[in-house]
Structure formats: C-alpha cells, structure tokens
Chain A
Amino acid sequence: MRGRGGRREAGDRVIARAGSAALLTAVWALAAAGPAGAQGRPDLIEVRKASDPSIAVGIGKYESVPADRVGSSPGNVLAFDLEISGWFEAKKPGLLPPRTLNDWARLGAEVVAEMELQGDELQASVRDVGTGNLLLERSYPGTLGPLRDRIHRFADDVVKSFTGEQGLARTRILCEWSPAAGQDKRIVLMDVDGFGMRELTGEQALELSPRWSPGGGAALYTSFSSGYPDVYLHDLKVGGRDKVAHYEGLNAQGDLSPDGQQLVLTLSYSGDPEICSKDLASGKIRRLTNDQATDASPSWSPDGRRVAFVSDRSGQPQVWMMDADGSRVERVTVRGSYNTAPDWSPDGTRLAYCSLRSDGFQIQVIDLESRQVSTVTEGGGCEDPSWSPDGRSILYSRKAGGRTDLYITNLNERKALRVTHGSGSYTVPDWSPYR
C-alpha cells in the first residue's frame, strides 16, 4: 500500500491527533448520546488530510447481524464501504477472529469496528485498538430502512467522524451491462458495491452511455428502441421516460448541465457528428462544434461554463474543451495518439480520461491548471472513467481475463477494488452524486 512505511504502533495516529484526553471524553460522550445528540454538535474525531495514509480498521464482531438479511457477509459490506472511501484499509480476520484488542493490534488494526443487531436495531461502534476507548457509537433502528442500507449509513458515519468528509457507501452506479457475449447492452442501476443490480427499462433494445442527472433523480442514455439511436431522459423515481433527442442520424452521449436545463450531446443531423446543446424548455438546438472531424463524449464542467469533449480534428482523438457556447476551444491532451472519454472532477480542476499507452488503455488524470498528467491505473484494458462525488476516487471499466468489470481506484492509495462479480460484462459506468 502506497504511502505506508513500516507498521505503526496501533492507534498512534488516532490518539495522538485526537489530542487531549478531554477531546476523547467529548467524543465518547457524544457517541453515547447517539445520532440525536450528534446532530447538534460537531463530531469530528480528527480531520485528516487527503494525503494521509489510510487508517487500518479491523472488521470486528458482527455475528448477530444475519447475512441473509444483508444479502452478503455484513463484514464484507462494511469493509468494502470503508475501503472505497479511500480513507481506510480494512483488516478482515481469517478463520480465528481476534478476541482481544491485542489480537487486533497484532493484525495491524488501529481501530476496530463492530456491529450488533439488538431486536431490529443495528448497534455499531468503533474502538481504538491502542487504548480501548470508544471513538464512535451509533444505533440504526429498523425505521431507517433495510439492514444493508443501515450498514452503509454506519460506514458513512465512520468516514464522516474520522475525516469530516461525506462517505460514498450509499452512492450508486449506472452502467451498460451485456448479459453474455454478443447480446445487446442495456442500462443497469446498482449500489456502489455492485449489489442490487436492476435493469432500467426491461426492453430488448440496445442501450448505451448512461449518465446521472445532476440531482441523481434521473438517468440520460441512448437507446435503439425506435431502431435508431435516440437520447432518453428516464425518471428514476416514477419510472417514465421522455425522448429528448431523435433527429436524423446519431443522437447519443447526452449529459445534463449542472442546473438541469441544458443537454449536451452528439448529433449528426448536420452531416457529421457534432457536439450540440439543447435547451430542454425551449427545445432549441445549438451547434457547439463546426468541423468535419469526429466529435464525441461531451461532458459539462461542474460550474456549467465549460464542455469537455473528444475530437480527432488534430488527426487523432484527443480531449478538448470549450465554453458552453462553443467559443474558446482548447486542446487539453497533447501526448499520446488516443485520449477519449473525459470526465470532470467534482471541483472542476481536473479531467480524467482514457488514454492508449504502450501497455494498453489506462485511466489518466490531468490537472487543468498545471497540465500535469498522471496515470492512475495499471495493467491496461481500462476505459470510461467516472469521478466519485468526493473527487478522491475513479470508477472505470476494465477488461481482464476474459471479463469486463467495474473497478474503483482511489487516487491516493491507487488500489483497484473490483465492484462487479456477476455474469456478463459491465461498461461505461457513471458514479451517482451523493444521495
């Protein structure tokens, strides 16, 4: 694991940085007061910097939480949730679960998280392995929803307590899924840990390029339902959909502006694929590019002022960006022969994209200020990056060993976590906003 030197003494950072015993007492009191008490007061145990190495968290007792009500091992659910946050490294015990805090210390855990089901109330805690102090204690009654979702809430509370950041455990993923080789892709929705996958339409039509609406209440995608590629806006709460672009030729790769009023998409009615915007209220189309080149994959900047896209106007596909009215066109990627599928970081300072390198397709990130480029994946076969809503991780598809699955890589730890395990192939993922 990058950034971690030799094994630390368990708990040194947590305790040392938490500072005085008084603060710890305050945390304890706070924790004991439960969620109601927590709402009125800041509940930071310590605020960590993004560059800090991750905290080793032991996944402790959870025997009383029935796996059949969770859908899989409750310990694995919690471990995955904490790991995708990028702030934690989960220590899952082997056959002999540690009994004492010293056992956990020997496993390298700095803190240990435990869950217990009492009646229908999930009681969860985090304890410091070094001192035994209770750092966090929360309870999640059945009224909050399914047990699995309550484990996600606990994971998010742990992340919030240790980092001040919102966790990702309750976010979701839209992607293309092909049930078997040669079968048409369709749009599916799943939890961020790959659980609870469902098809959006149940139609037998080719469906591509899903994108979340800014608030997460709707999905945009391309469907060949009419026989031709059209762009649809699909209400995820009610279930209905509207055809928002069905012009002559290609209608594809729609992306909604942050205010939800404008669509950018690729249209070819003019004679070749061009990036266009469409005002949803008036229906007015505006052509943003005007050249013979192949243009594709438009993506709004988070402030709604810029649009990143792909164009081969320089001879090879490269990432470009322009103002939302098509002016101030600027080339972003300058190295390599194939750079595609741009996605803006939530703070708008970076673009992630897919780049053909000597070792295959990799995900790269470019800082728009310094223009510094870093490759964040390994091994090739990586395509279609999508940022986490906290801007610390990237979701992408990876073709490896005859499968195409979704993976999440945290930009600090650079450890790839596999999201999908089911049959078929998973492509072009889009990470939801926070719930």
Chain B
Amino acid sequence: MRHTQNIRKTFARLEYTNKDMHKDTDKKLILWRFVYKNNVFSWETEKGKPSVTHSTIFLLLLRRFKKKTMSIKNTIKKIFQGKLPIALRNLAAAGAVFLLLDAACHLNPAYDWVWNVYIQANLREVSSLPHASLDERLTMKLGEDYQYVIFVRDATPSNSVIFYPSLADFTTVLPGNEKSPFSGKLTDKLSAIRILYPRHIVLEDEMGRTPWSFKITNVAIVNRRNVDKLPYQVPSHYYIGVLPTDSTMVNY
C-alpha cells in the first residue's frame, strides 16, 4: 500500500508504506520516503510513531531542507525520536521555574506584595466595582478630602474665587480632641486646581499679595477654620462647607 502527500504544489513529496512485521519483535513497521529535487531519503519507524500528522512531518522536513539549517538526517531523527522525553523535560523545567518564582515570593516580601497585593488584590478591587464613576474611584484613593473638594466644586459657580484651607486647617484637632476626618492629601494648590478648575484658588499665604486675593467670592471651611474670613457671623454648628462672602447669597 502506498500513500502520497504532495502538498502546496511543491516538487517534494512524502511517501509511506506499510511493511511486514518485524520478525523479532512482531512490531508493525512503516517505510518512509521523502523526495525533494532528486534527493531521496528513506527510513523506517514503528507504526503509530510519531503521533503527528503526515502533513506536519512533510512541512517540517521541507522547511528544514529549504533553509538548510539542519541536516535532513538530523531533522528526521529529531522528529521521530519521540516527544515524550522532551515534554517531560519541559514540564519539569516549567515546574522548577514556577517553584523558584514561588520561593522568591516567600523570601522577598516585596515580590510577595507585588503578586498578592498589587496584581491580585487590585484586580479583585477593580472587578468588584467595574462601573464606579470617576468621582467614586478617586474617593476610593483620596478619601474624605476628595469628597470635600467635590462638594466645594458642586456648591460653587465655575467663575468663583475660593479661599482654600491649608494643611493645618485640614488636619487640626477638633474640640473634644476628636481627630479630623481629613488627611490633608489635597492641600497643594495645584491638586486643588485639578479638581476645582476653572474656579480660582487663593491660599492663606497669598492673602494681600496677589490680585486674586482681593476677589474672593467663597470661603472653604473645614473643621470650622476660616470662618473669620467671612464678613458675617457663621452659626456655631457650621463645621464643614463652603460659604459665599456675600451674605445675601448664604444658604445653610
């Protein structure tokens, strides 16, 4: 019996023929012939080996032959020498690499942090709230400070000039030694501008030094600090918020 694989209109072909059983081992054999440009290579294998398709064998041989990167005999040997030991070797190597990486994670807390916190926990956190708004995502990172600044943003017109609290205002200790809810992450002027733009910001140390400090329209109040910047009395229960300098526009 003879089969021929003549693939992609090349002049190469691969033939394989069933041969009689080996008289000593009773194994069924196949006789192979690879023909390319008047070169004929023939060899024998056991039936069922290799477990790849005939067209794969043909393409591998043809590629090697055309590139001349490896002798055709070596290629034949490599293809038919059996994949099982190489597969086992790969599994062992991959397993060893995996164990090494795992050991590195256990030995070095920084790698452990990268893998378990930075990669996995972050992904879980992101997956848990996939549709959170931009403000919600920033609140997750910046906390109460951000919530306060977006409150100021939403409570003031876009052309307002806001007196903005300092770090000391944000972190001051409240009456009764109560801790301030703010951490002072957004006390830098540029950070505040990023959220409040196009509103203008004036800081304590700029008062009287810049033209904008004479145009303040709103005062941001945290922990009841800066109420003295307003030209009117503020109720004693008013601790956090933003109030206009114009008393006629006050709405508690």
Is chain B found bound to chain A in the same assembly?
no
